[in-house]
Amino acid sequence: MDFTNKVVVVTGGSQGIGRSICMSFAKAGAKVFIFDVNEAGARSVADEIVEDGGFAEVYKTDVSDYQNVEANISSIMKENGRIDVLVNNAGIVDSRPLVELNDRDFDRVISINLKGVFNTCHSVLPIMMEQKYGKIVNIASIAGKVGGGIFGNTVYGTSKAGVIALTKGLAREGGPYGINANAICPGPVNTSMIADFKGEARANFLKGIPLRRFAEPADIANVAIFLASDEARHVSGEITDVDGGIMRD
């Protein structure tokens, strides 16, 4: 899949799934713009891309801050004149039970995981509508389908369920303007998030995955780059599980 000179914005690109997504787009020829509050981590990814002959720039971004997002999107537009792909990957996990959380905890999860997706989409959508072309890929979670789980409580699941609904709405509203919007629902991914699962606990966890393995970040990136490509030009509003077969119903 060829993304030569396509302008791609990736949020939360400093590590894990986001890093792999950035690397995949860069290898396909895209101009990658990384939005992340972790500026040092994002710059490390960008440096790696540039050293490999690709293009990447970093914008320190708090996705929960609409003005910050809008200003950075405007800066990219001034420099490039278009935005072809938006991948919303930025997010946080809170695994505490609902009764252990307060309203501030709720606001923090929702403001990053859901409002952050709204902020970037709200800033980018008019651009894509004007150019009659755009691809939006949102990273949700199977937690958004089952109301949480081992890597996220009820509030985390709620935030990701919101991302799923937002994606479906974007597909409906953006379709007449040539915009595709899709979401990916990963299951457990082999990142720092599962590093503490070892021995018997890890083995028991794997038994719940039909493929008996955790996803690698590249497994998610491969689906993201497909959904953002013209190979998937007639796919929109799709919520794709990448979970090794956990969600079978």
> Which residues, 6 or more positions from 130, have their beta carbon under 8 angstroms from its beta carbon?
none
Contact between residue 164 and residue 113 where contact means Cβ atoms under 8 Å apart = no
DSSP line for 192-232:
GGGTT--HHHHHHHHHTSTTSSPBPHHHHHHHHHHHTSGGG
The pLDDT of residue 151 is 61
CA-to-CA dists, residue 202 to 41, 79, 93, 188, 236, angstroms? 28, 47, 19, 11, 35
The pLDDT of residue 249 is 61
The pLDDT of residue 205 is 80
Contact between residue 81 and residue 7 where contact means Cβ atoms under 8 Å apart = no
* pTM tops 0.85, yes or no: yes
Question: Which residues make beta-bridge pairs with 149?
Answer: 152
Residue with tokens 């690709």: 54
Cα-based angle 157, 162, 168 (whole degrees, multiple of 5): 130
Give the residue numbers marked as catalytic. Answer: 156
The pLDDT of residue 76 is 98
Of 117, 137, 121, the closest CA to residue 129 belongs to: 121
Of 111, 205, 118, the closest CA to residue 170 belongs to: 118
CA distance 239 to 221: 15
Contact between residue 156 and residue 113 where contact means Cβ atoms under 8 Å apart = yes
User: What one-letter code names the amino acid at 243?
Assistant: D
Contact between residue 216 and residue 190 where contact means Cβ atoms under 8 Å apart = yes
The pLDDT of residue 30 is 98
> Consecutive 10-residue runs of the chain (249 residues): their mean pLDDT?
96 97 98 98 98 98 98 98 98 92 97 98 98 98 89 89 98 98 94 76 85 94 98 98 87
> Which residues, 6 or more positions from 70, have their beta carbon under 8 angstroms from its beta carbon?
119, 123
> 108: exposed, middle or buried (C-beta count within 10 Å: 0-12, 13-18, 19+)?
middle
Query: What is the set of domains in the chain, with CATH numbers?
Result: 7-241 (3.40.50.720)
Beta strands in the chain (DSSP E): 7-11, 31-36, 55-60, 85-88, 134-139, 179-186, 239-242
